[in-house]
Structure formats: structure tokens, C-alpha cells
Amino acid sequence: MGQLGLGRQFGRLAPRLDGAFRADGVFAHDRLRFVDFVDDVEDLLEEVALQEWGDKEAVDGFEEYIWQHYSG
């Protein structure tokens, strides 16, 4: 998020993702279904993009960029 200029949002979002990963960084499948985690992250990213840029087109472009960037 810092590389995208959204680092200031991380402090607000991090607590909402708390519990999804164990202390060793491994996803906590026993606490949360991965599909639910992905849905939550998608919602959070849309919220951040809407707050930062203020329109739905920007949100869609940001979401597309994130999925392409992280899915290879």
C-alpha cells in the first residue's frame, strides 16, 4: 500500500484484518475461510479507493490494477 501512496490508510485497515494470519504469517484457515477473507479485502480496497479518489470508475480501475498486480 505504501508503494501505491496509500500507506496512511494501512493503520486504519490493519486491525480489520487482524486474526486472518497467525504470528508466523501463515493464513489462519481454522479461523476464517479464505474466500471470506478475499471478499473482505476486496471490500476494504474498494472503500480505500473510494475515499482516496471519490468515484466508482477510479475504484474499478484500482481493483483491476490490484488483481492484475497480485495475480501475476
pLDDT in tens, 41-57: 888 877 877 777 777 77
For 23-40, what is each residue's pLDDT tens digit?
898 888 888 888 888 888
Helix axes 34-53, 7-17, angle to 10 degrees: 150
Tell me the three state secondary structure of residue 46.
helix
Is 72 in a helix, a strand, or coil?
coil
Cβ atoms of 49 and 58 closer than 8 Å: yes
What pTM was estimated for this model as a whole? 0.59
Of the chain, the percentage scoring pLDDT greater than 90 comes to 0
- Domain definitions of the chain by residue range: 6-71
